[in-house]
C-alpha cells in the first residue's frame, strides 16, 4: 500500500485537508472560549429591605405574592438574624457587612453615630455600593436610608452617599405621606395624595422608570426600602379595612411575666391592661395592612423584570432590618430586645443557580448581605474588610463552595434620657420608649451582647453591661419561647466556654470574625 505524500505546492489529500480544517476550527473555538469565559454579563441584583418586619410572629403571612414569587421560586432562610435589633445600626451593618462594634453605629440618634459626619467619612466610604459601582453596576436607591439622613447636621439633602447613580432617599425616619426626599441631592417635598405621594408606591414607580432608562449593556443594582410595616402604619386606601378580625398572636411568651430576666423585662405590669391589648392588636393589624402594598410592589417588579427579559439573570432578595414584638413578655410594641421575636428576620432569595422551593436552615446574618452582593458581582472578597460571609454557596452550591457558621454575635447599645421620662417618672432617669402605662422598652443599661448557636445545644448566651453583669441563658430546643433563664442550672464549664466565645466575637474584625466561629 502506498501512501500519498504532498509535495510543496501540491494540494493535500481530502482527509488531510479535513483534519486541518477541524484543527483550525477547534483552535478558534477554544480561543474564543478562553477569551469569553470571563466576559459573561454579571447578574443584576434587586434588594428589598422592609422596615421592622418580623418573621417570628407571622409578619410574612399577608405577603402571599412575595412568598410565591421569591420564596417558592428560590430559597427561604429559616434562620436569618439581624446582628442588632434596631433600624440605624442594623442598616449600617447591611451597608458595610460589619458588626456594630466595628461600624460604631450604636443607635438611631446622631450622637449614636447614625449617618453622622464620622460615619460618612469612614464606614460609608467603603460600603457595598462603592464596590458595586467599581464593578460597573448601575445603582439605584429609593426609600428610607438611615434615620438621621438628610438632617442639617448630617449634610442635608444635598449629601448623596458614594456609589449611588440614582438617589431617591427619605429624609429621616419612615413616613407614608408628608415627607421630604433627596432626589439626587435636590429637595423634593411630598404631601398626602395617595396617587402622587404614597411612599411605597412612589419608590416602586421610580424603580420602574430606572429600569426603562438604564443602559442594557451594564448590570444594575436596585435597593428599595419601603416604610412598611414601621409606624405610623398608614395603609393604602384600598387596604384600610383588611384583616378586620386579626389580633396579635396570644401564644408563646405573649403577656408572660419576665421572670429571671434583665430588670427592663421585669418592670411591665402583668397581665397587661385592656387598653394596652387593644393598642397592640390595632398596631398588629395595621402593620399587616401596610405590607399589602409591599406585596404588590414585589409582584409588579417581578413582572417588569420578566417583560424586560432580565428576570432569569436577576437575583431578588427580600429581607428586613430587624424583627418586632407585640405583647411578648408584656412589652407593648417595639424591638431592641435580645429575644427571637426581635432578632429573627425574613430572608428569601431567587436568582440564577438557585433551585426553587428550598428551605435553608443554616444561620445567616444581615452582615452577610454585603459580601453576598459583592460575590454575585464577581468581586474578589479578599479585597474587602467585612465581618460577614457570602451565603451564595448555601443557595447555589454549584456556583460556590462555602461553610455555614456555627456561632454568631448579636449586640445592642441601649438608649435612654438623662432625666426621668415624663410618661414614667417613677422609674427615674436613663429610660426611653415609655408608654402611658409606665412600660419602658429601652434604657441605657439595656446594653447586651449575645452569642447564639443553632448546633446542639441550641443555645443563646447573653451578658449585660450593667452594674449586675446580668446573664441570660436559654436552651431553645427545650424552651423555644425563652421563658426560662437557665443560667443557674447550666454546667459552669459550658458558661465559661460561651463567655470566652463571646469575648472573641465582641473583639473580632474581618477574617477574625469568621475564625471566631470555628
Is the bond leading into 488 cis (omega within 30 degrees of zero)?
A: no
Taking a C-beta distance cutoff of 8 angstroms, is the pair 514, 368 a contact? no
87 labelled catalytic: yes
CA distance 236 to 229: 12
Transcribe 261-275 into DSSP letters: S-HHHHSS-SSPPHH
> Sheet harboring 220-225: ordered strands across?
186-189, 180-183, 166-170, 138-143, 220-225, 44-50, 314-320, 347-350, 75-77, 358-360
Task: Give whole-number Cα distances, 483 to 276, 329, 419, in Å.
Answer: 21, 9, 32
Its sign, for the CA torsion 262, 268, 270, 276, is negative
Residue 26's φ and ψ, nearest 5 degrees, are: -60, -40
Is the bond leading into 229 cis (omega within 30 degrees of zero)?
A: yes
| Helix pair 199-213, 274-307: axis angle to 10 deg | 10
CA distance 29 to 32: 5
Q: Which of 406, 433, 242 is nearest to 337 (CA)?
A: 433
DSSP class of residue 398? T
Q: Which of 435, 487, 455, 280 is nearest to 363 (CA)?
A: 455
CA distance 373 to 134: 13
CA distance 494 to 508: 21
Residue whose grid cell is 408584656: 330
Distance of CA 192 to the CA centre of its chain: 29
> DSSP H helical segments within 150-273, as ranges?
194-197, 199-213, 263-266
Residue 299 burial by CB count (10 A; 0-12/13-18/19+): exposed, middle or buried? middle
What are residue 364's DSSP bridge partners?
Answer: 80
Q: Does residue 266 sit in helix, strand or coil?
A: helix
DSSP class of residue 429? B
Residue from 32, 36, 39, 87 carrying the catalytic annotation: 87
Q: Does residue 418 sit in helix, strand or coil?
A: coil
Taking a C-beta distance cutoff of 8 angstroms, is the pair 197, 227 a contact? no
Q: Does residue 17 sit in helix, strand or coil?
A: helix
Q: Does residue 511 sit in helix, strand or coil?
A: helix
- Show which residues are catalytic: 87
Amino acid at each position: 500500500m502506498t501512501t500519498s505524500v504532498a509535495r510543496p505546492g501540491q494540494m493535500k489529500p481530502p482527509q488531510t485537508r479535513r483534519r486541518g480544517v477541524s484543527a483550525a476550527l477547534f483552535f478558534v473555538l477554544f480561543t474564543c472560549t478562553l477569551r469569553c469565559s470571563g466576559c459573561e454579563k454579571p447578574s443584576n441584583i434587586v434588594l428589598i429591605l422592609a422596615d421592622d418586619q418580623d418573621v417570628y410572629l407571622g409578619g410574612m403571612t399577608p405577603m402571599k405574592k412575595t412568598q410565591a414569587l421569591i420564596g417558592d421560586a428560590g430559597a427561604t432562610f429559616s434562620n436569618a438574624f439581624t446582628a442588632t435589633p434596631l433600624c440605624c445600626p442594623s442598616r449600617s451593618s447591611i451597608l458595610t457587612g460589619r458588626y456594630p462594634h466595628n461600624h460604631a453605629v450604636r443607635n438611631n440618634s446622631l450622637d449614636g453615630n447614625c449617618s453622622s459626619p464620622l460615619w460618612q467619612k469612614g464606614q460609608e466610604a467603603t460600603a457595598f455600593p462603592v464596590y458595586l459601582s467599581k464593578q460597573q453596576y448601575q445603582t439605584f436607591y429609593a426609600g428610607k436610608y438611615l434615620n438621621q439622613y438628610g438632617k442639617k447636621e448630617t449634610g442635608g439633602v444635598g449629601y448623596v452617599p458614594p456609589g449611588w447613580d440614582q438617589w431617591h432617599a427619605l429624609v429621616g425616619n419612615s413616613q407614608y405621606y408628608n415627607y421630604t426626599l433627596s432626589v439626587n441631592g435636590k429637595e423634593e417635598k411630598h404631601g398626602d395624595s395617595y396617587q402622587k405621594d404614597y411612599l411605597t408606591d412612589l419608590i416602586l414607580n421610580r424603580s420602574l422608570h430606572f429600569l426603562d432608562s438604564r443602559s442594557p449593556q451594564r448590570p444594575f443594582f436596585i435597593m428599595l426600602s419601603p416604610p412598611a410595616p414601621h409606624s405610623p402604619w398608614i395603609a393604602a386606601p384600598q387596604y384600610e379595612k383588611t384583616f378586620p378580625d386579626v389580633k396579635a398572636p396570644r401564644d408563646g411568651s405573649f403577656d408572660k411575666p419576665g421572670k429571671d430576666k434583665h430588670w427592663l423585662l421585669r418592670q411591665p405590669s402583668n397581665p397587661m391592661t385592656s387598653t394596652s391589648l387593644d393598642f397592640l392588636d390595632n398596631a398588629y393589624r395595621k402593620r399587616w395592612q401596610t405590607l399589602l402594598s409591599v406585596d404588590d410592589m414585589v409582584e409588579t417588579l417581578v413582572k417588569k423584570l420578566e417583560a424586560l427579559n432580565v428576570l432569569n439573570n436577576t437575583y431578588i432578595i427580600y429581607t428586613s432590618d430587624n424583627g418586632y414584638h407585640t405583647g411578648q413578655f408584656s412589652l407593648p410594641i417595639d424591638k431592641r430586645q435580645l429575644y427571637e421575636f426581635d432578632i429573627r428576620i425574613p430572608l428569601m432569595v431567587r436568582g440564577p443557580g438557585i433551585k426553587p422551593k428550598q428551605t435553608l436552615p443554616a444561620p445567616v446574618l444581615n452582615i452577610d448581605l454585603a459580601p453576598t452582593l459583592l460575590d454575585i458581582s464577581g468581586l474578589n472578597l479578599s479585597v474587602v474588610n467585612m465581618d460577614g460571609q457570602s451565603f451564595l454557596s448555601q443557595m447555589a452550591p454549584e456556583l460556590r463552595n462555602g461553610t455555614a457558621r456555627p456561632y454568631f454575635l448579636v449586640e445592642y447599645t441601649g438608649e435612654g434620657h438623662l432625666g426621668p421620662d415624663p410618661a414614667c417618672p417613677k422609674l427615674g432617669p436613663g429610660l426611653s420608649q415609655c408608654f402611658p402605662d409606665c412600660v419602658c422598652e429601652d434604657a441605657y443599661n439595656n446594653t447586651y451582647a449575645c452569642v447564639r448557636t443553632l448546633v446542639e445545644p441550641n443555645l443563646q448566651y447573653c451578658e449585660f453591661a450593667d452594674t449586675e453583669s446580668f446573664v441570660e441563658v436559654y436552651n431553645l430546643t427545650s424552651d423555644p419561647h425563652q421563658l426560662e433563664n437557665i443560667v443557674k442550672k447550666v454546667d459552669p464549664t459550658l458558661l465559661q466556654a460561651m463567655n470566652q466565645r463571646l469575648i472573641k466575637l465582641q473583639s473580632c474584625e474581618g477574617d477574625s470574625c469568621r475564625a471566631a466561629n470555628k
